[in-house]
Chains A and B, each alone.
Chain A
Amino acid sequence: MPADPGLLALVLQAHLPWVRHPELESFLEEDWLFEAITETYLPLLDVFERLADDGIRHRVTISLSPPLLNMLADPLLQTRYERYLEQRIGLADREVVRTRHDPAFAPLARHYLTSFRRAHETYVGRYRRSLIAAFAALAGSGNVRLMTSAATHGCLPLLAVNEQAVRMQVTLGMHEFRRFFGRSATGFWLPECAYYAGLDRILADAGVRYCCVDTHAIELASSPPVYGVHAPLFCPSGVAAFGRDAECARQVWSSVEGYPGDFDYREFYRDIGFDLPLDELRPFVSGAGARTFTGIKYYRVTGPGDHKEPYNPDWARAKAELHAAHFVESRARQVARLRDASGRAPLLTAPFDAELFGHWWYEGPTWLDSVCRRVAAQDAFRLTTLDEYLDAHPTHQVAEPNTSSWGFKGYHEIWLSDANDWIYGHLHHAADRMVALTRRHRHARGLVKRALDQAARELLLAQASDWAFIIARGTVVDYAVRRTTEHLERFGQLAAEIERGAIDEVRLTAVEAADNLFPTIDPTCYA
C-alpha cells in the first residue's frame, strides 16, 4: 500500500454578507451574524480546539470571507453580540422556569441556558471578543489552514464584463486576509464556487496558489482530467483548481439522503420565537415586535409532516456518531475503489458552507468532531489541507476548468434570473464609472480620496452575490433589494459629488461610519 492510501480535504467556507446597522439601535438582520457566532463559529472553534487538546491529528481548510472578518472585528457588533447573548441567557432562564414541570422540555431549557452561558463565557472571558485571534491561533497549530475569499462575495463571472471589478474583489480579498492575519493567504475561496475561463490569471496576479471549483468544472475542463476530480488541475497560470467530490457532497448536502434531514436531528424551523406569544418574547429579542429565531428549539425533525416530537439530545448525538462512522466507512470504500482503478492515492475535496454545521444542522459540529476522531483512528485514508496536499504533490495536469458554479443546475441561473437580473446593468455601469473616476483621480488626497474610498466600498457591497441569491429565493427580498439599491445609490451620490468637485463631507462621514469595512482600501486597483 502506498504511504498515502488516500486523502480527504475538508473545506469549510464561512461567509455572511455585511450586516451592520449603526443607524438603528437594534436591527434584526444583525442577528444573522449573532446566530452564526453562537451556533457555528464558537462550536467549530470548540471542536478543533478539543481535537488539538486531545492530540488528535486532523486537517481542515477554513475560508473566512472579508465581510465576516470585518464584522467579527467590529467593536459595535461585538458589543451588540454581547447584548444578544445576555438577552438569550435571560430568555433561557425564563424558559427553565416556564418548562419546569415538563419532563420533555425542562432538560432542553436547561441545556440552552448552559449553552448560552458557555458561549458568553467563551466569547467574553476566553476570547476577549476576538474570534479572529481564536482562528489565527488554530491556524498556528498546523491542523487548520485558513484561506480568503472575494472582498464582498461577488459572483465573479457575472462581474467580469469589467475586469477591474473582478481584480478588486480578488486583490482586496487577499489584502484583507493579510491585514487580519499578518501573512498572505494562499487559498482563495471562489464565491459560489463560480469560475470562468481566464479568472485564474487574475488570481495568479494576486498571488493565489489554489481555489476550489465544482465537479463539472474539472470534468469538462479544456483537456480530459486524467484523475477526474480526485487530483487538482493547474490552470494555465499555475493556480491549482480543486474539484468538489460529488459523493462527499451528496452524503452531507443532499435533500433526499443527506444526513441533516434525519428524523432524530433537531428541527430548525420550530423555534420558540415563533411558538410563544410575542409579549413573552419581546424583552429578550432584538428589534421591535418582529418575530425571529431565538435559537431555542424543542423539537426534532420527526418526519416529513408538520407533526413534531420533542428533541432528544442523546438520540441526536448517537445518530451523529452513526453518521460519522458511515461517512468515514464510505470514504474508505471510495478511496479503495479509486485507488484500485488508478493505482494512485486519490484526493477527495469536500467543501461545505461552514454555517451548515451548527446553525442549520445543529449536530453538525458533533458529526465533524467524530469524523476527525474516526479518521485518525484508521489507516484507509488521512485528512489533509489543500496547502499540505500541494506541498506533497506539486505536479499536475494543466487545463482550463469549465465555466461553472455550485448553484442550481451548476451555472449562474440562481444569480441571474427574472427576479434579480435588473441588478447587473447597475453594477456594471457603476464599475465602469468607478474605473473612470479612479483613473481621473489616481493621486487623490484628503476629501476626494475619502470619497473615492467610500465609493469603492459601496460598489463592493452592492456586488455581494448574497442579495441576488436572497431575491431569487424569495426570502427577505425587501431587505436584499434595499441593500442593493442603497449601496448603488450611495455610490452614485459619491461619484456625482467627486465628478462635480463638491463633496458633502457630513454625509460622507455618516456613510463612512456605517459602512466602515475595508479601512485601508486602495481604489487605485480599479485604475
Chain B
Amino acid sequence: MTRVPGDHAAKVEAIAAAERLAETVRRHLLTLAQASLRIVRGLLARLPADEPTSDGSHAAVSASDMPAMPARPAAARRAATPAADLLRTSGRLPTSYGSDRLVLLARDPHCLYAYWDVSRARENAARTEAGSDPLRLVLRTYDVTRIAFDAEPPRRFQDFAVGGDAHSLYAYVGKPGACFVAEVGYLRADGRFFPLARSQPVWTPRTEQPGSAPGRWMTVGWNERRGAGEVVPSAVTMGTAAQASGTRPGSAPAPAATSPGGASPAPSSWQPGSAPGAVQRGSWSLVRGGLASPTTVDSPPTGRSDR
C-alpha cells in the first residue's frame, strides 16, 4: 500500500535501479488495481501534487524526487516526474504482425509502394507446395483497370525482383490513371508462381485529362438554420451544362453540351501550366505548401534602387 514512487526515490541513486523499482511498483499497483479499484484510487491520491488538464482530469506534472530520466533525443531535460516513468516506451516496434498481408499505396502516377507481412507458416506452406527447386521472391503487379481480378489472375503482369530480406518495394509500373492489384510470391525456375499474399486494388493518379466532355452540373443549396447555427444541404439538383448555363453569365459552357462529348473546351488561357513542386522552409520544417518551379507570374519588384 505504501509503495508509491515518491516514498522510495530518496533511497535509489542509480537510474537502472530506479527503473527496476518503477517496474515493480507498476506491477504492484496493477495487481492492486485488479483486486480493488477503490484501493487503487486511494493509492493514486497519494501521488505527488496534480495539475489540472484541459479535460478536467488530473495529471501528475509537478517536479518530483524521482531520479531524472536517461537522455532522450531532441528534448530538453529537467526533472522528470513519476508520469515520465510511466510514459516510457522502448522505442521498438514489432518487425512482423504475422498478418499475411500485402498492401499497395500509390506514391505518384508512376510508382506503387508495396509492403508485405507474411508469416513463416505461410512461407513454409508455399515452399512446400513449390517443391525443392530454387525459388525467387517477386512482386507481381496486374493492371486490372478494365478487368476483374477474381479467382483467376489476369494473364498480363509485371514482375519486380525482391532483393534480400526486403519486405517492401517501390514498383515503377509507369501507368497513370490505372488500377493495380499485386501479389507477392515465389517464382520457380519453370515460371510457375506461388503467391503468398494478394493486395487490395489501388489506382494511380492521372497525368492527363481523361475526357473532353464537361459532363453534369449540379446546384447545391445550403441554408443557415437560425438558432442552432447548423448548416445543412437543402437541395441537390443535377443537370447538364446546357441546363445550368442559364444561371451563369458568359458563354464558356457551350449550349451544345447537352450530351457527353458535345461541349466546347475551356479557354486554354485559364489553365495554369506546370505541376507544382514544393519547397519547405521554416524552423519547424512544417511549412510545406510551397512551390519550387519557376513560373510565368509577374516578377515582384526587387526595389534594389528604391532607397
Contact = CB atoms under 8 A, between A and B. Distances in A.
Contact of A234 (B29, B72, B82, B218): B218
A517 to B, nearest CB: 8
Contact of B74 (A29, A227, A511): A29
B218 A257 contact: no
Contacts of A506: 26, 29-30, 33, 40, 43-44, 86
Contacts of A486: 89, 91
**Interface size bucket, A side?**
35 or more
Interface string B10-51: 000000000000000010011001100100100110000001
Interface string B239-273: 00100100111111100000000010111011110
A161 B248 contact: no
Contact of A223 (B103, B213, B272): B213
Given A158-B105, A360-B283, A342 B297 contact: no
A238 B218 contact: yes
A75 B51 CA distance: 9
A485 B83 contact: no
Contacts of B298: 251, 326, 330, 333
Counting chain A CB atoms within 10 Å of each CB, which of B43, B113, B208, B294 scores highest?
B113
B283 A35 contact: yes
A384 to B, nearest CB: 15
A396 B52 contact: no
B134 to A, nearest CB: 28
B214 A479 contact: no
Nearest to A181: B229
Nearest to B269: A341
B301 A326 contact: yes
Contact of A254 (B168, B232, B238, B291): B291
B60 interface: yes
A428 interface: yes
Nearest to A330: B298
Contact of A510 (B60, B97, B252): B60
B164 interface: no
Nearest to B253: A226
A161 B112 CA distance: 14
A26 B80 CA distance: 10
A151 to B, nearest CB: 15
Interface stretch (A91-99, A212-220, A375-383): A212-220
A416 B269 CA distance: 34
A126 to B, nearest CB: 21
B121 interface: no
B285 A485 contact: no
Contacts of A517: 54
A224 to B, nearest CB: 5
Interface in A394-438: 394-399, 402-404, 406-414, 416, 421-422, 424-426, 428-429, 432
A229 B272 contact: yes
B280 interface: yes
Interface stretch (B140-148, B152-160, B183-191, B198-206): B198-206
22 contacts: A21-B75, A75-B51, A76-B53, A219-B272, A220-B207, A226-B266, A227-B270, A251-B300, A253-B279, A255-B279, A257-B295, A264-B303, A319-B303, A323-B301, A342-B250, A351-B289, A411-B109, A429-B99, A469-B285, A503-B33, A510-B82, A519-B57
5 closest A-B pairs (Cβ-Cβ)?
Answer: A287-B76, A513-B59, A519-B55, A343-B250, A478-B73
Interface of B: 26, 29-30, 33-34, 37, 40, 43-44, 51-61, 63, 69, 72-84, 86-87, 89-94, 97, 99, 103, 105-109, 113, 115, 117, 167-168, 200, 203-222, 228-233, 236, 238, 241, 244, 247-253, 263, 265-267, 269-272, 274-292, 294-295, 297-304, 306-307
